[in-house]
Each structure stands twice: as structure tokens, then as C-alpha cells.
Amino acid sequence: MWRLLSCTVCLFVSAGFSLRPVWAAEEELDGEVKTEVLFKPEQCSQRSKRGDLINAHYDGYLAKDGSQFYCSRTDRDGQPQWFVLGVGQVIKGLDDGIMGMCPGEKRKLTIPSTLAFGEKGKGPVPPNATVVFEVEVLSVSKGPRTMEAFGRMDLDKDKSLSKAEVKEYLKLEYEKGGKPRDDPFYEKLIDDIFYKNDDDRDGVISAKEYNIYQHDEL
């Protein structure tokens, strides 16, 4: 995922972001994420929390020289990223820094190496590198990650989730929130969910694959 990308277009598309980097030395961060709010909507009906399903764009830069190593607007056909917050699907610094964000909010996150790519680095990110992410959260929705939700989705009670069952659940959740979407939206979301959670690639998500918290029983 992390590779050097030419993302000139990102600099123009990310309206509202500060494109002039603000650098922070590793020792200045003291092992924590430095957060700068770049834009926040006046109306914020829902703040992101652990277990929520997040849809976001984010761009990554090396703090030492401002070089860009990732841009979601050019990766994977420019689609925003889907992930469950707070469970390790992104680096720890993003999990921490995106907590409490509203849909439409933009933040700059300066992340020490201990909460990013560590002593080994990854791809174009060198070892022990402080990184800066500019993040725009597009949507926050209730993540279907509790075993209670699993039971509601598992319509045929076979202790596994098909794509049709997950799609039906998501449609109901979005409609309940007054934000119905079209089929291509759900197909994209479901493909991403199954890519990240169907570990054995058998076309269904088992109870074990689903229970990312590894607690509470069916």
C-alpha cells in the first residue's frame, strides 16, 4: 500500500488542507500524535469512535523533508479508504488521531515512528521516521463489529456472513440514518470489507474472522 506516488493532483483536490508542511522532531512529540484541526463542520452529529466504519482520504509525508509517500486519491483508482477505527487496520497513529472526528472534518496528524512504521520502516518510509498525514473523513457509520450485530446480519443462522447478508445490513443502517446509497456504493464497501476480513477467501466471513475484538461469544 505504501509506495512513492506522484500526487500533484492531490495538492489541488485537497482543498482546505495546509499544503505547507509543519515539521516536528521525534523528541518534540514525546511518543504521542500531534493533532491540528484544519477544518471542522459547524454541525457534527456523530463523532468517530473505536469500532466505527470510516471512509476517508489521507495523504502521507515524511516529516524530515516533506516528501510524499502516499496519496489515497491516486491509489486504487482514487477511491477513499474504508477501515474499522481502532482495531489495527491502519497504523496506530492514524487510529489514535482520527478518534473523535466528524464527517467532513480535516486534520493534520504528526505521528512519531513508534506509532507509525517503527524501527524497520516500510517501503519508501525509512526506519525511525516521523510522518505527517493530512486526513479528511468523509463518513462515519456504525461498524458492524459486535457479536450482537453479527447475529442480526446472520439471517440464515449458519454462523457465517455472506455478501448478501452484509449488504442488507448496511443498506438498513444507511437508510435508518437518512443516507441511502446506490448499489455501486454498497458493492465497493462490501468488496473492501471482504478483502480485509475474509482471511481464508472462502466467500463468507466466519464468526472467528468477524470478531476482531476476540471477546463475547455467539
Q: What is the mean pLDDT of residues 191-214?
A: 81
d(CA 217, CA 145): 13
CA–CA dist 188, 177 (Å, integer): 19
Q: pLDDT for 4-24, tens place per residue?
A: 333 433 432 333 333 344 444
The distance of Cα 159 from the centroid of its chain, to the nearest Å, equals 27
* Whole-number Å distance between alpha carbons of 185 and 174: 11
Read off the pLDDT of each residue in 135-142 and give the average, rounded to a whole number.
Answer: 89
Tell me: pLDDT of 174 over 90: no
- Which residues are within 8 A (CB) of 166 and not within 5 positions of it... i.e. 6 or more apart? 144, 153, 190, 193, 194, 205
Per-residue confidence (pLDDT) for residue 141, from 0 to 100: 81
pTM, rounded to two decimals:
0.62
**Which region among 86-90, 123-127, 153-157, 161-165 has the lowest average model confidence (pLDDT)?**
86-90
124 band by pLDDT with thresholds 50, 70 and 90: very high
Instruction: Please indicate whether residue 47 or residue 51 has the higher confidence score (pLDDT).
Output: 47
User: DSSP label at 122?
Assistant: B
Please report which confidence band the pLDDT of residue 137 belongs to, taking 50, 70 and 90 as the band edges: very high
Domains of the chain with bracketed CATH: 34-142 (3.10.50.40), 147-211 (1.10.238.10)
State the number of CA atoms in the 13 A half-sphere of 113 facing the CB: 17
